[in-house]
Amino acid sequence: MSGQRSSQWYAGTDRNAYIHRAWMRRGLPQHAFDGRPHVAIANNASDLNPCNSHLNEVAESVKQGVYEAGGIPMNLPVVSLGETLLRPTAMLWRNMAAMATEEMLRANPTDAAVLLGGCDKTIPSLLMAAASVNLPAVVVPGGPMLTGTFRGVPLGCGTDVWRLSEEVRGGTLSQEAFARSEASMIRSRGHCNTMGTASTMGLLSEVLGAVLPGLAGTPAPDSRLLEGAHRTGRLAVELATVGRRPSDIFTSASFSNAIVALAAIGGSTNAVVHLLAIAGRLGVPLTLDDFDRIGASVPLLVDLQPAGAYLMEDFHRAGGLLAVLREVKDLLDPSALTVTGLPLVDYLDDAPIWDPEVIRPRRTPLQEAAGIAVLYGNLAPRGAIVKPAAASTHLLEHRGRAVVFDNIEDLHARIDDPDLDVDADSVLVLKGCGPKGYPGMPEVSNMPLPKKLLEQGVRDMVRICDGRMSGTAYGTVVLHVTPEAAAGGPLGLVENGDYITLDIANRRLDLEVDPAELARRTPNAATVAGFAKPTRGWERLYVDHVLQADTGADLDFLVGSSGDTVSRESH
C-alpha cells in the first residue's frame, strides 16, 4: 500500500522520517511504516464522562479490526464532555471539543479516523471535527445503557429524574423514595436510555451515513457492539484505501434523511443545532426551515420516553433504526450514501419490526405529524422551535399572560414563591439562556412548574426560552428563541403581564405588545448582565464568536472546512 497521508511523516530516508518512525518504534515493527493506513481512534473514554467510560474496551475491538485489515491503529484520546458533571453546561465546550479533535486529526499522521462517542455532545463534536478535517471517518456509537427498574417499573434516565423530582415537589412522592430510586436509575455502562440527545445523535449519525448500518442503538453492554467495533476497524482501513471522505457522505440527501428520521424516532430537539453545525462545517445548505419543511409531516413511529413509554433496550429488541427507516423509506432520499459506499436505502429490505408496540408500523403511527415545528413571530424573528410530540394537546394553541424570569437564578429564586402571580394559563418566559447569555445555551428551557400549581395537579404549561431543552425532557416548551435576549432579541423585552400567543398549527409565536411600546423598552439589566462576562480562556473566545441557535451555535471562525493539509513540516 502507498500514497497514504501518513507517508508524509514516515516515508523516506531523511532525518525527519527517521525521527517520526523511531519515536513510534515502541513495539511497532518496521513494516508498520511501509505505507499502510494509520487509523486514529478518536476515543472519548473518560472516568469523568461516565456514559463513555467503556469506550476503551470498544477501542480495543476497533484496534483488532484495523490490524486484521492490515492497518495500524492509534489511540487518540480526545476532549470528552460528560453531560451531567460539566459546569456551566457541556454545550459550552462542544465547539472546543470539535476544534481540538479536528486539529489533532489534522496535525498527526492519520489516514482515517474511527470516532468513539456516546454522551450528548460527543458524537456531534466528533462529526463536526471529521467534517472540517475531511479525513475518511466512521463512527462507533457507544450505545445506550440497559433498562433500570425501581419498584418493579422501568426507569428512564433523565426523563424519570424530571418526573420523580416534580412528584416530590408536588408532594406525591417522599424524599426517601426519591433517594432510593437513585441507585436504580443507571443500570449499566452506556449513555442515557431514553430517546434523548445521545440516543438521537447516535442514530442520526447512522442515518447520515457515518456508521456501519445496523450498529447504532446497540446497547453498550451488548457483545454485538464489540463485534461492530471490530468490523468498523476493518472498514476504516478500507476507507483510507479508497479515500471515501465525509464530504462524499454528508450531503443534502443525507441531512434530509436525518430530518425524516429525527421525526420518525421522536428524537431530541438538540439534534437541530447539532445537524446545523455539522452541515455548516461542509457547506451543506441546511436551514432551520428545512426541519419543518422536510420533517413536520413525518409520522412518529417510536414509542420511547420522553414522549412515550419504552426505552432504548426495547427499541433495539424491536428492530432498531433500520426497521423505522424501512417504514418511511418512501420519504428518504435514495441517493444518500453510507461509509460502506452503498446507499442507506440498500440496508432496509431485511429490517422487520419485531415488536409493533415499540416501533409502530406506518399505518398505525403514534402521531400522524411529529417533526420539529419552527415558529416565527415578533417574539422570534429568526425562529424558535417546539416539539409537538412532547407537548400537551390542550396547549398547542394557547394565549396567556407572561410570567417573566430575567435569568436562571431569578427563576430558581421565585418559581416556588407562594406569592408568584401565576396560574395554569400563564406563559413562563425565561431569558438569558442563549449561546451568549448563559453562556453556553444550557438545557433549562423545560423550566420547573411553580410548586403551588403542581400541588393543584398542573403538569404542563407553555414555557418559552432562548436556551435548549434536555432531550430527555418533555412538555410544551418553545426553545432556541432567536435572536436570544442577551443578543438583543425581543425576548429580552417581554414584561410580566404581556400577552403571548402560541399557535403551533400556524407556526406563530407572538407578543401582543404595541411596536411603539416595545421600542420604548430596554432589556432588564439582569438579563444581559446575568453572567459575569468572561475575560479570558475558552469562555471569552466562545462569547465573542458564538453564532445563534438558528445556524447551529458554532463559532463563526469554525464554520467551514480546512481539509487535511498541513502547510509545514513538524518542527
Q: Least distance to ligand FES from the beta carbon of 317, Å?
A: 20
Query: Judged by CB under 6 A, does residue 120 bind ligand FES?
Result: yes
> Rounded CA gap, 499 and 377, in Å?
14
Cell of 61: 475491538
Strand pairing class (153-155; 148-150): antiparallel
- Residue 225 contacts residue 149 (beta carbons within 8 Å): no
Minimum CB distance to ligand FES smaller for 74 or for 304: 304
Q: Least distance to ligand FES from the beta carbon of 157, Å?
A: 7
User: What angle in degrees, to the nearest 10, is found between the helix axes of 252-265 and 320-327?
Assistant: 100
Which of 174-182, 189-197, 417-425, 544-552 is the region at the interface with ligand FES (rule: CB under 6 A)? Answer: 189-197
When binding is defined by CB under 6 A, the residue of 51, 422, 477, 555 that contacts ligand FES is 51
Query: Judged by CB under 6 A, does residue 188 bind ligand FES?
Result: no
Strand pairing class (38-43; 72-77): parallel
Which residue from 487, 468, 486 is spatially nearest to 477, judged by alpha carbons? 468
Instruction: Name 502's bridge partners.
Output: 398, 509
Minimum CB distance to ligand FES smaller for 84 or for 367: 84
Minimum CB distance to ligand FES smaller for 305 or for 407: 305
Buried residues in 394-424 as b, exposed as e (16+ CB within 10 A): ebbebebbbbbbbbbebbeeebeeeeeebee
When binding is defined by CB under 6 A, the residue of 83, 222, 290, 484 that contacts ligand FES is 83
Measured in Å, how far apart are the chain's first and last C-alpha atoms?
27
Query: Judged by CB under 6 A, does residue 192 bind ligand FES?
Result: yes
Contacts 24+ apart (CB under 8 A), 319-322: 319/351, 319/352, 319/353, 319/354, 319/355, 319/359, 320/214, 320/216, 320/217, 320/218, 321/203, 321/206, 321/207, 321/214, 321/216, 321/217, 321/261, 321/265, 322/213, 322/214, 322/347, 322/348, 322/351
What are phi and psi for residue 263, nearest 5 degrees? -70, -45
When binding is defined by CB under 6 A, the residue of 119, 389, 444, 528 that contacts ligand FES is 119
Which of 176-184, 191-199, 204-212, 221-229 is the region at the interface with ligand FES (rule: CB under 6 A)? Answer: 191-199
Q: Least distance to ligand FES from the beta carbon of 536, Å?
A: 29
When binding is defined by CB under 6 A, the residue of 63, 191, 274, 468 that contacts ligand FES is 191
Query: Judged by CB under 6 A, does residue 547 bind ligand FES?
Result: no
Query: Judged by CB under 6 A, does residue 97 bind ligand FES?
Result: no
When binding is defined by CB under 6 A, the residue of 16, 56, 75, 84 that contacts ligand FES is 84
Query: Judged by CB under 6 A, does residue 327 bind ligand FES?
Result: no
Minimum CB distance to ligand FES smaller for 119 or for 332: 119
Minimum CB distance to ligand FES smaller for 129 or for 192: 192
In angstroms, the Cα distances linking 472 to 206, 312, 528 are 20, 12, 28
Minimum CB distance to ligand FES smaller for 116 or for 374: 116
When binding is defined by CB under 6 A, the residue of 42, 45, 198, 449 that contacts ligand FES is 198
Minimum CB distance to ligand FES smaller for 51 or for 140: 51
Task: Give the DSSP letter of residue 530.
Answer: S
Q: What is the contact surface with ligand FES in residues (CB under 6 A)?
A: 51, 83-84, 119-120, 158, 191-192, 196, 198
